[in-house]
């Protein structure tokens, strides 16, 4: 058993946003990809690279910091980075509940102090340090981009060789779980390469498609090793011309799930 277990992965709050508890014992440097505004107590949502659609929703104090450092137009924040940390001293209702604060921000060349209202009638300075960002290579995005190029260069006759490749099946399963925005792009490209993503009408596919589809489902569920699954992948690639779109989509998903189980 691997003793190097990162406990931070097991305490993330189930929420639609980044929470202070997600930063217990750690900091997080994020790069802004989109900013949206809305009504309510948390009117600003800052989406960032790798956020899994759980944005950072800054409190009013941090919104004032952003305004003072990066300016009033949120579109100018895109591509800029900041480091977030948990401040245990943040209170709510008289209790120290913790909150998200900003320590560093990119696109400034020296330490900046932003004076904000701390409590009623009392102001305080918040120190923001310059952040030097070394942009890391997004290997997932690069891999998805390379796969996308292969898919776009294929046609209905050859796309099955790509979608049936065991390595690509694993890659797509990982993207679906960890980078859904990339997975959606890949899926759309595959559907386009295959032609009509929903297939032809049943009468054009032949009357036996339902039985063949069920036979494939049963065989996939019963597959005991990856070699058997590889054989079923080839069988599926050949059978697709007789199956309807809903069956194709379902069987493709079953193959991917079973491969993950047997890997």
The residues spanned by each domain of the chain are 7-130, 139-262
Residue 244 has pLDDT above 90, yes or no: no
Of all residues in the chain, what percent carry a pLDDT higher than 90? 28
Distance CA 28, CA 102 (A): 10
**Cβ-Cβ contacts under 8 Å for 4 (sequence gap 6 or more):** none
27 phi/psi in degrees, rounded to 5: -120, 170
What's the predicted TM-score (pTM) here?
Answer: 0.48
12-26, 101-115, 171-185, 232-246 — which is least confidently predicted? 232-246
Distance CA 64, CA 57 (A): 13
On the 0-12 / 13-18 / 19+ scale of CB atoms within 10 A, 61 is: middle
Greatest mean pLDDT among 3-12, 45-54, 241-250: 45-54
Q: Could you tell me the pLDDT band of residue 30, with boundaries at 50, 70 and 90?
A: very high
What average pLDDT does this structure show over 2-18? 69
Distance CA 209, CA 229 (A): 20
Residue 204 has pLDDT above 50, yes or no: no
Structure confidence at residue 3 (pLDDT): 64
The pair of three-digit structure tokens given for residue 32, joined into one six-digit string: 């802004």
What average pLDDT does this structure show over 199-204? 46
Please, are residues 69 and 59 in contact by the beta-carbon 8 Å criterion? no
pLDDT tens column, 76-114? 999 899 999 999 888 766 677 789 999 999 999 999 999
Q: Which tops the pLDDT comparison, 253 or 196?
A: 253
On the 0-12 / 13-18 / 19+ scale of CB atoms within 10 A, 95 is: exposed
For the chain, give me the number of helices (H) and strands (E)?
A: 9, 8
What average pLDDT does this structure show over 70-77? 92
* Cα dihedral 192/194/196/200 (nearest 10): 180
Rg (CA), the chain: 25
**Cβ-Cβ contacts under 8 Å for 28 (sequence gap 6 or more):** 18, 22, 83, 84, 85
Q: Could you tell me the pLDDT band of residue 138, with boundaries at 50, 70 and 90?
A: confident
pLDDT tens column, 150-201? 988 887 778 888 888 889 998 988 888 888 888 888 888 888 787 644 444 4
Identify the CA nearest to 67 among candidates 115, 123, 31. Answer: 115
Pairing of strands 44-48, 27-37: antiparallel
Residue 53 has pLDDT above 60, yes or no: yes
Q: Which tops the pLDDT comparison, 105 or 255?
A: 105
122 phi/psi in degrees, rounded to 5: -135, 125
45 phi/psi in degrees, rounded to 5: -120, 120
The pair of three-digit structure tokens given for residue 40, joined into one six-digit string: 């309510």
Residue the block writes with tokens 């604060």:
101
């Amino acid at each position: 058993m691997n003793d190097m277990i990162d406990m931070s992965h097991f305490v993330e709050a189930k929420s639609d946003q980044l929470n202070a508890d997600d930063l217990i014992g750690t900091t997080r440097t994020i790069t802004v990809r989109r900013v949206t505004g809305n009504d309510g107590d948390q009117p600003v949502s800052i989406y960032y690279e790798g956020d899994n659609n759980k944005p950072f929703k800054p409190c009013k104090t941090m919104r004032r910091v952003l305004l003072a450092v990066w300016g009033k137009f949120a579109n100018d924040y895109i591509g800029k980075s900041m480091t977030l940390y948990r401040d245990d001293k943040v209170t709510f209702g008289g209790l120290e509940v913790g909150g998200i604060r900003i320590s560093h921000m990119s696109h400034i060349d020296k330490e900046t102090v932003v004076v904000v209202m701390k409590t009623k009638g009392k102001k305080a300075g918040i120190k923001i340090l310059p952040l030097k960002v070394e942009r890391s290579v997004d290997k997932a995005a690069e891999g998805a981009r390379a796969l996308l190029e292969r898919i776009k260069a294929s046609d209905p006759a050859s796309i099955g060789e790509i979608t049936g490749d065991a390595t690509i099946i694993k890659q797509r399963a990982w993207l679906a779980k960890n980078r859904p925005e990339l997975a959606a792009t890949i899926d759309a490209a595959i559907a386009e390469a295959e032609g009509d993503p929903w297939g032809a009408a049943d009468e054009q596919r032949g009357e036996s498609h339902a039985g063949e589809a069920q036979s494939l489902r049963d065989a996939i569920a019963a597959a005991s090793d990856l070699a058997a699954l590889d054989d079923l992948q080839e069988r599926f690639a050949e059978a697709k011309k007789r199956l309807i779109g809903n069956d194709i989509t379902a069987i493709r998903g079953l193959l991917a799930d079973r491969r993950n189980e047997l890997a």
